[in-house]
Structure 1
Amino acid sequence: MLVLTRKTNERIQIGENIEIKVVSVDGDQVKLGISAPKSIDVHRYEVYEAIINENNQAASQQLDALDILKKL
């Protein structure tokens, strides 16, 4: 993991298309602005985890439905 120190209004560039800017720091809370192409999904980690869990559950249900159809 790369750890960088940035101040308010400083930026980090990832590749050619993704830019992260420190918008503000207030106590232990940091606000970040992220510029990325629309083709790249940007989520808070807890939202990303929920999406992955829902996708896994949906895939599992589809397999269960296929098993039921095979028995018919």
Structure 2
Amino acid sequence: MLVIRRREGEGFVIGASIEVDILEIDGNQVKIGIRAPRETTILRKEIAATRDVNLASAQQAEEAVVEETLKRLRLSPKLPLE
């Protein structure tokens, strides 16, 4: 892991296409800005961990259970639009 110190207004680059700027430091919180190509996925670490757990759980679901759930969803009454 690379550890660098940056002050407010400073930044760094990752590769040729990602820029990270330190926008604000307030106590123990840091606000950063990230410039990256649209196709680059940027997620908070806890969101990425939740996604990985959900994907792993979904892959373990039995096919019959998935098919039954899809069947029930197709037969459920449509909710009125608000």
Please indicate, yes or no, whether the TM-score normalized by the shorter chain is above 0.5.
Answer: yes
TM-score interval for Structure 1 and Structure 2 normalised by the shorter chain: 0.7 to 0.9
Aligned length: 64
For each residue in 1:8-43, what CA deviation from the matched residue of structure 2 results, as whole angstroms up to 9, or x when unmatched?
111110001111110100000000111111111101
1:36 aligns with 2:25: no
| Aligned-partner residue type, residue 65 of structure 1 | E
Question: 1:58: Cα distance to partner?
Answer: 1.1
Task: Give every structure 1 segment of 4 or more consecutive aligned residues whose post-TM-superposition deviation is greater than 2 Å.
Answer: none
- Which of the two has higher C-alpha Rg? 2
C-alpha distance in structure 2 between counterparts of 1:33 and 1:41, whole Å: 14
TM, length-normalised to structure 1 = 0.83
1:50 match: secondary structure? helix
RMSD of the alignment, in Å?
Answer: 1.1
Mapping for residues 1-72 of structure 1, pairs under 5 Å? 1-61=1-61, 64-65=62-63
Flag structure 1 segments of 5+ consecutive residues without an equivalent.
67-72
Q: Note the residue ranges of structure 2 that are not aligned, 5 or more in a row.
A: 65-82
